[in-house]
Chain A
């Protein structure tokens, strides 16, 4: 008996590995990336010896920061995709939850004479709870509204809070505030590698959680709501409840990414976190990567962030004119927006899946045709 159980466990493991080899390879690659870059550049993943002092700088450290940023945006985009791509609800107020996480963590860590570890724990838990409550209430009162009405309602709420915080004195109004205390182990300026693995772990957990959720019965109902809400309702599901569930979970995940963002972003909390930009970015990432796909938002986040870092310092010389691409980054973003919408409406992953599916159909048709020829030839 023991042997059979072990056998099936081994089989299951093997099945999991073979069916998820791509994700596992990607994860392994991301785990060794900082070390690999450190090894190639000869500076090590922790920093460089400059004269007598050991400083946390170098190629690897720079890339750890950039990749952490990507993971954070990937978490945000995945949470948006859960609401927008998997449940079919367009929210324009997603930045609100992102901001709530940041403000909550910042407010806790800002308190003087308070153990920073405990403060961080309280901030994370408090931020998640408050974001959960806020999104639950917003969902409860507004998810009865349909389509554009809901989108505009969420936009109005987020914008009102955003404007309020740009003038709210205790949190530093438009300038926001900074905090200095935080557990040293996770501080991105001192231990970038730890923070890198933290944000990677956050992204991986979010990915796994959303995938698990979408393969559960609840996820199936959410997909049904996206496809046709009236039908889901007429079958007997309380669609409102599932939509509220979706936006609550999405809001909590977004607040988590907001916390990571605050820590990485020089430990500064500002009202722009609740501005429209932080709703639009995940929206764009989701659409570029592929709406309603698991890996799409991640690819969108990576693509957008990397192209931004690479293009920021690029200067093109046409004739006598020097054009700094970084200055006109927004134009590129806008053009990208337009092009993707017109040419790749299903995003990178969506287009890829469709292309593969069409290839497969073609192959199968060929097989069927061949067998028919074979049988008729007999």
Chain B
């Protein structure tokens, strides 16, 4: 463990402790505090669902995929549609199973479109990374309009209820629905499964080597392009899956894409480009700080605007201390 890494971990621990302590003192109520922490973790995990794909894709391929938010949005729409399809509703009355099906469907659609995008459009542009940025932006626009064409401008709110969403438990005198812990669980499961994939499989070794030096990996006779395609597909699929997971809470609307994209980019950069663990830690950190600031500002100064700015402020402050993000390497 290097000196710098230890320092970074110290900063993260200090910030987290400071946030939690601040929230604990200012809320003054154990139940409220629990709600704040729960909501912080929940938002952090939602962010992570978008940011994880961005992070791996950027680390390996040096592409900041600006269409990632659009994939998230697409996932929300597809998930909603599958869950509420009349035919499926009759065939499978159990809402839980339909929810799982909708997640699989969202992930699959994201994977297919991500795969096509990489193969058809991004491939020719690996020599010009700047243009990939512009291209993905164009793709984001087209996807947004495509969604508008298919689903119209009317936002979809989750109409059907199901037991994971409905059932609740009581903690410190406050009622919690099971949905938030469920999303947090999905996020944590995703963090660990991707970490396993990266650290314990052959593909993972190739990906990590590719992050270090893609040309060298290619020189060793490994088809790096195929790995690029795989990773991009995976990133898009995870983002779409995230949309499906978030749909019961956020619904599906056209604002979803940009709202999450900017925060996700902030998280990836904050964690350090190319560092997967950095993205995971930064997601939680940003989620917590948003929740704490939201709680504090609504309780005391009644200006909720500060909560929406918080990710940006955290990003700017951390970049000033650590110019390459928390766990990023000097490039």
Residues of A within 8 A of B (CB): 90, 141-142, 144-149, 152-153, 155-157, 159-160, 163-164, 166-168, 276, 280, 283-284, 287, 328, 330-331, 333-338, 341-342, 345
Contacts and interface: CB of A to CB of B under 8 A. Distances in A.
Given A148-B273, A331-B141, A331-B145, A164 B135 contact: no
A159 B131 contact: no
A164 B308 CA distance: 8
Contacts of B312: 156-157, 159-160, 163
A335 B138 contact: yes
A280 B125 CA distance: 20
Interface in B120-176: 121, 124-125, 128, 130-131, 133-135, 137-142, 144-146, 149
Given A144-B323, A146-B331, A168-B305, 9 more contacts: A155-B265, A163-B308, A334-B138, A334-B140, A335-B138, A337-B134, A337-B135, A341-B134, A341-B138
B59 to A, nearest CB: 12
Interface in B265-291: 265-266, 269, 273
A338 B315 CA distance: 30
B124 A342 contact: yes
Nearest to A328: B145
28 contacts: A90-B133, A142-B319, A145-B319, A148-B64, A149-B273, A152-B265, A152-B266, A152-B315, A155-B265, A160-B313, A163-B309, A164-B305, A164-B309, A168-B305, A280-B137, A283-B134, A333-B141, A335-B138, A337-B134, A337-B137, A337-B138, A338-B121, A338-B135, A338-B138, A341-B134, A341-B135, A342-B124, A345-B131
Secondary structure at the B interface, as helix, strand, loop or mixed, is helix
Nearest to A145: B323
Contacts of A166: 305
A208 B274 CA distance: 42
Contacts, number: 104
A333 B325 CA distance: 33
A159 to B, nearest CB: 6
Interface string B231-262: 00000000000000000000000000010001
Contacts of A157: 312, 316
A331 B315 contact: no
Secondary structure at the A interface, as helix, strand, loop or mixed, is helix
Contact of B139 (A144, A160, A280, A338): A338
A222 B316 CA distance: 26
A275 B186 CA distance: 33
Contacts of A167: 303-305, 308
A330 B144 contact: yes
B253 to A, nearest CB: 16
Contact of A149 (B128, B138, B325): B325
A152 B269 contact: yes
A155 B262 contact: yes
Given A141-B320, A159-B262, A334 B125 contact: no
Contacts of A160: 309, 312-313, 316
B17 to A, nearest CB: 24
A276 B69 CA distance: 14
Contact of B142 (A148, A163, A334): A334
B: contact size bracket: 35 or more
Nearest to A156: B312
Residue with the highest number of chain A CB atoms closer than 10 Å, among B265, B312, B315: B312
B131 A331 contact: no
Residue with the highest number of chain B CB atoms closer than 10 Å, among A156, A283, A331: A156
A342 B145 contact: no
Contacts of A141: 320
Contact of A153 (B135, B262, B316): B316
B324 A149 contact: yes
A153 B319 CA distance: 8
Given A142-B319, A157-B312, A338 B305 contact: no
Contacts of A280: 137
A346 B308 CA distance: 38
Nearest to A154: B316
Contacts of A147: 331
A36 B135 CA distance: 40
A90 B131 CA distance: 12
Contacts of A335: 138, 142
A60 to B, nearest CB: 34
A297 to B, nearest CB: 15
* A-B CB proximity, top 3 nearest: A337-B138, A334-B141, A334-B142
B266 to A, nearest CB: 6
Contacts of B266: 152, 156
B258 A337 contact: no
A337 B331 CA distance: 29
A333 B131 CA distance: 16
A283 B131 CA distance: 11
B147 to A, nearest CB: 11
Nearest to A88: B130
Given A141-B320, A160-B309, A328-B149, A341 B125 contact: yes
Nearest to B143: A334
A24 B137 CA distance: 36
Nearest to A284: B134
Contacts of B137: 280, 337
Nearest to B325: A149
A336 B143 CA distance: 14
Given A341-B135, A341-B138, A163 B265 contact: no
A14 B134 CA distance: 42
A222 B256 CA distance: 39
A280 B133 CA distance: 12
B118 to A, nearest CB: 14
Contacts of B142: 331, 334-335, 338
A272 B150 CA distance: 27
Contacts of A334: 138-142, 144-145
Interface in B299-331: 303-305, 308-309, 311-313, 315-316, 319-320, 323-325, 331
Contact of A342 (B58, B125, B265, B315): B125
Contacts of A149: 269, 273, 319, 323-325
Given A144-B323, A342-B121, A345-B128, A153 B315 contact: yes
Contacts of B319: 142, 145, 149, 153
B202 to A, nearest CB: 29
A144 B319 CA distance: 10
Contacts of B64: 148
